[in-house]
Amino acid sequence: MELRQLRYFLSVAETEHLTQSADALFVTQSTLSHGLRQLEAELGLPLFDRLGRGLQLSQAGMAFRSHAARALQELEAGRMALADMAGLQAGTLTVGVIPTFLTHLLPQAVAAFSAHYPGVQVVVRELRGGPIEEQLIAGRLDVGISFHPAHRDEIEAEPLFDERLQLVVHAGHPLARRRSLRMRELAGVPLALLPQSFATRRMIDAAFAQAGVAPAVRVEMESVDALLQACRSGPLATIAAERAAAQAGPGIRAIALTDPATVRRAGVLWRRGASRSAAAREFVARLLPAMGAVAAVADAGAALSPPPAAAASPRRPAPPAPAPASRPTSAASAPRRPARR
């Protein structure tokens, strides 16, 4: 009994037609018929009832079908197990990732994976969410890092982490002293945003629509890093994920957005039903520690993002001080005092 005979049998059991199965298996109809006759001769029973130009499983064929399918599944699992063992010594892992996560998440995971498995070449492709799903379905990617949930039924998505979107401005911006802003307060604020072809931009537009105002978009750029740099001076502000904002460097303020708060969820994407290689599974396992490292940076950045303490003084009574009572405590007078750290 040969594996090809089992494959022939299972295909014809599915199609009940020799021509269709021969085309699907890339063999001639005579080769397919000969293989089936050999299998029936070895088993000693007819597996099909011939009905004109079609075939139908016989009683023996119905009994044999589940066993043949399980046998092929077990053999395929064994082949994948051996391929996995070799796959961690050599081979290529192809990962698709959206631009934001490429910059702020993937470098740590790639470095950690390469340190453990130097024989595996990692190819990272920067793609948007739609193309990532398409290339996973086509088998051109092993794993994708994008948004959760997926949009295609053929894709299985596992949640990775959540992150908030925040307003990002430079330290001298008129809004830099605010700790939070309602979305409707951004009406008229000049914004630099991603184009509407990006999922994050569509989330931002939906939040503005829910708040009942329209964004004042002055600049569109396809790079989050470029948007952050554009907001280092002048009137422009941008809206970015908290991890990206935290890594923007000194002189940048990140302000919480509410009513509505906008949260996006990152996800690991797989082709549904496809075998997951050991290399892909190990790479995804490296994402979790990398995520923790990036989150630590985000937390550190969040600690630096609130404005100086003087900015909060208008919200609470001024403490007793030796200064004359007639001198008001205000944000305007704050620069004359040493900043508290």
CA torsion angle 48 49 50 54 (round to 10): -70
Compute φ and ψ for 299, nearest 5 degrees.
-65, -40
Residue listed under structure tokens 């939040």: 207
pLDDT per residue over 122-133, tens digit each?
999 999 888 999
Cα 112–chain centre separation: 19
Confidence category of residue 84, pLDDT binned at 50, 70, 90: low
- Minimum mean pLDDT range among 130-139, 250-259, 322-331: 322-331
Tens-place pLDDT, residues 89-107:
778 899 999 987 887 788 8
Does the pLDDT at position 321 exceed 70? no
233 or 172: whose pLDDT is higher? 172
State CA 24 to chain mean position distance.
34
Neighbouring-strand partners of residue 92: 121
Token pair belonging to 284? 């995804």
pTM score? 0.58
Q: What pLDDT, in 10s, does the model give residues 304-317?
A: 444 444 333 334 44
Q: Which residues pair with 163 in a beta bridge?
A: 264
The answer to whether residue 280 scores a pLDDT higher than 50 is yes
Give the pLDDT score at 108.
Answer: 86
Same domain, yes or no, for 28 and 151?
no
Q: What is the pLDDT of residue 199?
A: 85
Q: What is the pLDDT of residue 294?
A: 54
Same domain for 192 and 230, yes or no, is yes
Contact 302, 255 (CB under 8 A): no
Tell me, yes or no, whether 148 and 278 share the same domain: yes
For the segment 41-53, what is each residue's pLDDT rounded down to a tens digit? Answer: 999 999 999 887 7
Do 209 and 239 lie in a common domain? yes
- The runs of H, that is alpha helices, within 105-241 are 106-116, 129-137, 199-211, 224-230
Query: Confidence band (pLDDT; 50, 70, 90) for 293?
Result: low
For residue 248, give its domain range. 164-262+302-309
Q: Does any domain span residue 249?
A: yes
Measured distance CA(136)–CA(133) in Å, rounded = 5
Our count of domains for the chain comes to 3
- For residues 35 and 114, state if they share a domain: no
Q: What is the pLDDT of residue 291?
A: 67
Residue 339 lies in a domain: no
CATH number assigned to the domain comprising residue 270: 3.40.190.10
Is residue 184 pLDDT above 90, yes or no? yes
- Is residue 335 included in any domain, yes or no? no
pLDDT above 70 for 188: yes
In a domain, 326, yes or no: no
Query: At a CB cut-off of 8 Å and minimum separation 6, what does 324 contact?
Result: none
Mean pLDDT across 7-36 = 89
How much is the average pLDDT of 16-43?
89
